[in-house]
Amino acid sequence: MDNSFDINLRWIKIGMCYLPAIACSICIIYTALFDSSLVYAAAMADCEVSSSVPTVSVSIGPWEPQRLIWVAVMLIHTPMRLLITMLYPTIWPQGKLRNFLSIVLFGETLGTVLVTIFHVQSIAGEAIHALCFTFWAFASGGVMLVTVALHRVNGKEVGSKAFVFSIYLIFSLICAAAHPISTKLCYHWVYALFCLCEYALMATTTTFWILVINSLSDHFDRISFTLSKSSHEEMLPTVKQPITFISMVIPYPSRPLRVLLVDNYPDANGSCIPWPSMDRTQRCPYPGWCLEILSNLVASNNISVEYIVEKPGANVDWGRLQPDNKTFSGLLGRIQRDEADMSCLLYQKSVLRSAHFEFSIAVSEITPSFIVREYPITLSSLLLNCLKPYKDSVWICILIGVILQMIFWPLISRTEIALGLRKKSDRWGDSVWGVINDWLNGGDHHFTMYSGIFLRLIFSIFQVGLLPSMYTAAVLFALLSPSDNSPLKSQNDALRLLSSGSYKLITDKGMWFYQEMVASSEPLFVSLREATANNPVVEASDAIAIKLVDQGNYIWQVQDDMSSMPLVLTSCFTIVFSQGLPYRSAHFLFSKGNPWRPVIDEAILKSYSMVDTIRRRYFVDRIWDPSRSDCPKSPYAMPGATDPLNFWAIFGVFALSAIGLGVAVSFLVFEIVVDFIVNFRERGANLKVRNEKKKKKRKIEVRDWMKYSTWTSSSSTTSTK
């Protein structure tokens, strides 16, 4: 006995979209034609004027037979909406957007039910009905917004859905403004505008859901319910058997699924024995994340598969477009020529690939990164450490402000002296260095002219008040913030380094990133295309690329599922930068019109939890070698964020002080030398004068002594006689 039944998506579209739209239109027309007097009395009740245009709430709410029609349609509509609420999020990859989509979908369903129950004349009152309607409107807008975001993230066409969402947003804003204006200012034409915008909200919501279900119908025809018997069959009636499985029914092709297997870790690990290993073992705990995903998909869906296995370790041509005949070489060429249905690799969409191949729905996602060598820590970098919180332009502006102050301060002082407003003085305040004196000591330099008073006001606020505080904050930031030696702080840094030619970009020209650089209109890729116009991209193998990065002045573009990532993560002095880079969904790739693509899509839809578990085990929970213990230590090691500050952390502050003292000592020596040279002759002349005076004095002393001696001798002779 067949224990399953199917529902065609066409019936879901009718029950969820067309029936409510028709019922709402009938209720509005019936109310306008046959209950116009009631509408006239109920509309704008607090105003002297009124309107005969019915709102949606009045049309489906209190009066019969409109309410009976609406409730009957809701009995059909609500189960269909609940079914889509459960099913629709499962077609998207695991993530925050998918979880939020489930929440807003349930909120929209709940809002529809609440608006029906608490109508405008219910016992709850009109205010509760307005609150329920607002809740529904926000939930509907949230569903549209998240759906558009999911389409963009996963590379799907969003033109029509984004347009409908824009129209919905415009009418929502008009409704939000028109209702309070009409009730407060009693403008009947504003009330009529509010009613028309309500009609438009219903129409745009219906149109949006028709587009969503049509996008599902492009791949699937119906929903199949499989019923399973309970273990307590004798106690439960048959009609209460639980639903255990919901799936989209897709016929399988008659031939097996042909899969190319190549050694490309982490997609498929060729070092595992035997090769290929489909399951984890003690000897091979990581057989390859793509291989694990694919083996689970084919096993859980009973897909017949034929593996085309390449020898592990062999050089593989991943496939490039041949300009002469517009076909691909290598692996992509084999898929394009229908030698295989797919490969055990996950691809990202690009303009070039989309023109020649088809993609499955998103299996997972990858994050591109830039690999760059960190700046080496040198004495010069430590010296500038205390200046790093402010850019060069800020310090230049500060220096210009100080110089201008030093020019205009003495200029105004000299002008006041020339006009007789101030006595001539040689004090510090009348010179250029008086600015520094007032800066350091406060000073008492007073001006008579208003220009000087205003200048001193600016001086007090800017240089005496603001600049010392700014420098204090700069020094504290330099001392307390962890060392950051990355050349890349943002995308703009990468673009600037590439545009200037100081760095070169390394990438694989066969990868989606380079293909998007060539053809994409996304702002980042356009900027990269311009930055590398005169600085060509370097193409190198992984081993050569890591050596070039280690030399410095190279930026290597990689992504987290590349085989080179373990090498990158264990390399010394390399930095992985991925902030703001556009992540991409990862897909299986098929030739155009391949019959196995819808089957794999269906299998992926049912296996997102398994895919997420495998991805986390390979890329999130696995630890490669975060310590890098074998890397040489820098002689100028900086402390970590939680370590005590060492000498090198505050080296710049001490170095600036030492430089200042050195400059002062140099000026002292210079002044001594200049003073000695300039005054050398004067000192020599003075010395000569002093020597002549000494000689003259000695002559006088000798002469006096001789006179004295002569007199003494004469006196002795006289006394003898």
What pLDDT, in 10s, does the model give residues 459-501?
A: 666 666 666 666 676 666 655 555 567 788 888 888 889 999 8
Residue pLDDT, tens place only, 210-235: 888 887 766 556 666 655 544 444 33
Q: How far apart are CA 100 and CA 165, in angstroms?
A: 17
Angle between helices 512-519 and 523-531 (to 10 degrees): 90
Binned at pLDDT 50, 70 and 90, residue 32 comes out as confident
The 3-state DSSP class for residue 108 equals: helix
The 3-state DSSP class for residue 556 equals: strand
Q: Rounded to 5 degrees, what are φ and ψ at 583?
A: -75, 160
SS3 letters across 594-610:
CCHHHHHHHHHHCCHHH
Q: How far apart are CA 266 and CA 289, in angstroms?
A: 6
State residue 232's pLDDT score: 41
Mean pLDDT of the chain: 76
Helix (H), strand (E) at residue 4: strand 4-8
Q: How far apart are CA 555 and CA 570, in angstroms?
A: 17
Domains of the chain by residue range: 4-233, 390-479, 647-678
Q: Is the pLDDT of residue 635 over 60?
A: no
State residue 231's pLDDT score: 41
Share of residues in the chain with pLDDT > 90 (%): 7
Q: How far apart are CA 178 and CA 51, in angstroms?
A: 14
In order of 93, 151, 323, 365, 411, the CA distances from 146 in angstroms are 13, 9, 40, 18, 65
Q: How far apart are CA 445 and CA 502, in angstroms?
A: 50
The 3-state DSSP class for residue 496 equals: helix
Q: Is the pLDDT of residue 613 over 50?
A: yes
Q: What is the mean pLDDT of residues 236-259?
A: 58
Q: 290 with 562: CB under 8 angstroms? A: no
State residue 248's pLDDT score: 47
pTM: 0.50
Binned at pLDDT 50, 70 and 90, residue 358 comes out as very high
Output 44 or 501, whichever has higher pLDDT: 501
Q: What is the mean pLDDT of residues 514-536?
A: 88
Q: Is the pLDDT of residue 642 over 60?
A: no
State residue 268's pLDDT score: 87
Q: Is the pLDDT of residue 387 over 80?
A: no
Q: Which of 126-140, 144-158, 381-395 has the lowest mean pLDDT?
A: 381-395
In order of 211, 214, 588, 598, the CA distances from 218 in angstroms are 11, 6, 18, 10
Q: What is the mean pLDDT of residues 138-145?
A: 88
Q: Which of 267-271, 381-385, 687-691 has the lowest mean pLDDT?
A: 381-385
